[in-house]
Every structure is written in structure tokens, then in C-alpha cells.
Amino acid sequence: MAGELRNQLSWSFSRHGSFQTCLRGYYYHYYGAWGGWAADADPGVRRLYVLKNLKSRHLWAGAIVHEAIARLLERARHRQPLPRAEADRDAFAEEAVARMRVEFRQSRSAAYLKDPRRVCGLLEHHYGEPVAAEDWRALADQVRCSIRNFLDGPHLALAGEVAREDWLALEDLESFPLGGVPVFVKMDLAWRPPAGGLLIIDWKTGRREPQSDGLQLAVYALHACERWGADPASIEIREVNVSSGAQSAAHFSAGQLEGARAAITASIAAMRARLADADANLARLEDFPAQPAPRTCRWCCFREACPACAGPAPGQGGGA
């Protein structure tokens, strides 16, 4: 049928991580849930699609911060007014917390079951996990702190100095081909600073210090070379923790990037090898066994579907 979506093999760092962590979770996410958005989807497929879209409270808070930062940077790119006064900065942070309250209520009411793609569904609510009210408040405080730290930090001011034509990416999902397979990349921010070179920034929102994954950052650099013709020597990839203010920087040589390209190629080959029909990208559940582990299963959104770590039925979670 013309215009019909086809499930095609692609690669991303998150997909690679899922494949390495648990084959059954990988299957559920990329194959079992495919087509679950359709009104006439099979109930089992729809169930996996709902589960696929759940977020843990920590990932949810991080997404709220990323979106707030992106809105600020978008204003800076278009030279629109930014919150300068203390009261305006506080108000901007509170807007993000107000959005959290709305999404929290939607999730607690299970509204996401009808529209899991557009309505927030929290893993803690779906599985009826008790979360103390003070923990929810601490999460909101972390969001406030992260947004204020970004507002007070150097990057928003620097954004006003970057020429419009030197902005390269802002939360844009892009891809480059490798062996006939699209490699997807979503950069938080990439631009050419006034001082020269090419800067890629990855915002971190957790309490931990930045911990670079060499392959993830190398993929960013590979994309910059493929998409923008950058010289590897000109690229700096900076991880910035907006919760703590900690930063780290990475640079990659041409040889290191070739090593990353080989690692991606090997990862794609391993994904293909699991398929019942690699050309058609067809997968069978039995070829993707579960790999249960306490930490993996604890944060897995597919717990109720997986016999290896079946969780309780959906319920109304704790918190207020």
C-alpha cells in the first residue's frame, strides 16, 4: 500500500544499548510494539506500544529540562527576548514545574493508555510503585535548579554571539548512512562558535558527574564529519551537567572515528544476525531471549509482558 510505514533496520546508540542490555526488551521495543499506534492494532501489539512509551520519573524530569533548554536556545537563535530579571528566570523555571504537575496528573489518571505517544505515562504510576511525596518534590526542585543553572551559565550568553548561519543542530533527529543502514543521531546542540571550530554539547541532568561513553560521543563526531564536512580535529564534544555544573570535553582523531565506524558496523551485523529474515527485517520472539538482571528489570518498562521479570498489573502509583 502506498505510503505504508515499513519497519526498517536502523542504528542509534540507544538501540545499540538496548540490544546489548536485553534481547527480549530490544525485540519488544523495535519489533513487538511496531504498529501499536494504529486504531485497529492487535491488542498484544497495542499493549507493548503503551509500555514502550512509559518513562521513569528520572528520564521524565530530564526530558522536561531538555525541552526547557531547547526553548531558551531557540529564542536566542532567533534573537527573541530572554528572561533576564531574577523574577523572570524564576517564572520560567516554574513554568516547567507547572508542566510537570499537569503531566503527573495525566499519568496518575492513566490517560496515557488512550494516547501513549502524546500523553505522559510514568513507569512508577503504571506499575503502582510507591514514591514518597518528598521524592516527587525533590525531583521538581532538581528541575528548577537545572533550569536556573542553565540560565545563569555561560552557554545561553554565548548563544547570542553565534551567527544564525552557524547554528547546526538543536534537538534535531538526523541520520547518515553506513553500509546501507541509517545511523540516527539527535544532538542537543551543535554550532560553530565565533572562536572557530565546531562545538557539540550534550546536556546531562542527573546527579552523577558526566561519564562519557566513547562510542556515543564518537557517533556525534562522525555525523558532524558526514553532515557538515567537519575536520575531526576541529570538533569538540562537551558534556555539561546542568544539575551540578560539571563539564567534560572529548576530541576524536580520524583513526578513532574509523574505529567507531567499525564498531557500529559490527553492531549492525549482530542485529542482522538475530533476524529470521534480514532482508525483510523480520524478527521472531523466540530468537530474542530475556536476559534478566536486577537493575535491568527494575527499570524495564516491559516488566508486565516479560515472563522473566513479570511485574504487577497496572495501578495507580504513589506520590501527590
8 lies in some domain: no
Confidence of residue 208 (pLDDT cuts 50, 70, 90): low
Shared domain check, 207 and 168: yes
Task: Say yes or no: 135 and 170 in one domain.
Answer: no
Q: Clarify whether residues 70 and 94 are in a common domain.
A: yes
**Across residues 67-76, what is the average pLDDT?**
98
User: CA dist 15 to 120, 188, 216, Å?
Assistant: 21, 18, 11
Q: Which one, of 293, 304, 292, 291, lies nearest residue 128 by Cα?
A: 304
- Which conformational region is residue 171 in: left (phi greater than 0), alpha (psi within -120 to 50 degrees), or beta? left
Task: Give φ, ψ of 204 to 5 degrees.
Answer: -110, 145
Q: What pLDDT is attached to residue 295? A: 87
Grid cell 500523553 in the structure block, residue: 119
Give, in order, the Cα–Cα distances in Å from 199 to each of 148, 150, 230, 282: 22, 17, 11, 39
pLDDT category of residue 4 using cuts at 50, 70 and 90? confident
User: Could you tell me if 70 and 105 lie in one domain?
Assistant: yes
Q: Judge contact between 285 and 27, C-beta under 8 A.
A: yes
Residue 261 forms part of a structural domain: yes
The rounded distance, in Å, linking the Cα atoms of 30 and 26 is 6
Q: Tell me whether residue 312 is in a domain.
A: no
* Same domain, yes or no: 134 and 177: no
d(CA 283, CA 269): 14
Say whether both 110 and 45 belong to one domain.
yes
186 by DSSP, 3-state: which?
Answer: strand
Residue 152 region by backbone torsions, left for phi larger than 0, else alpha for psi between -120 and 50, else beta: alpha
Mean pLDDT of the chain: 93
**Shared domain check, 187 and 71:** no
CA atoms of 228 and 197, how far apart (whole Å): 12
Q: What is the pLDDT of residues 304-313, one digit of tens each?
A: 999 887 554 4
Q: Is the pLDDT higher at 130 or at 319? A: 130
Alpha-carbon distance values, 37 to 26, 49, 115, 251 (Å): 18, 7, 8, 40
In a domain, 1, yes or no: no
Is the pLDDT at 210 greater than 70, yes or no?
Answer: no
Per-residue pLDDT tens for 99-113? Answer: 999 999 999 999 999
C-alpha cell at 174: 538526523
Domain count within the chain: 2
Does one domain contain both 170 and 142? no
Q: What is the pLDDT of residues 23-32, one digit of tens each?
A: 999 999 999 9
Q: Is 212 within a domain?
A: yes
Determine the pLDDT at residue 310: 58
Q: Which three cell numbers stand for residue 130?
A: 510507591
Please check whether residues 184 and 121 belong to one and the same domain: no
115 falls within a domain: yes
Residues 130 and 253 in one domain: no
Least Cα distance to 24 among 233, 319, 287, 312 occurs for: 287
pLDDT at position 213, please? 67
Q: Which amino acid is at 51?
A: L
pLDDT tens profile 139-181: 999 999 999 999 999 999 999 999 999 999 999 999 999 999 9
Query: What confidence score (pLDDT) does residue 1 get?
Result: 45
| Same domain for 140 and 169 | no
- The whole-angstrom separation of Cα 302 and Cα 282 is 21
**282 bridge partner residues:** 277
**Does 308 reside within a domain?**
no
- For the whole prediction, is pTM greater than 0.85? yes
Enclosing domain of residue 199: 162-273
One domain, residues 120 and 200: no
Q: Which residues contact 1 (CB under 8 A, 6 or more apart)?
A: none
* Within-domain flag for 284: no
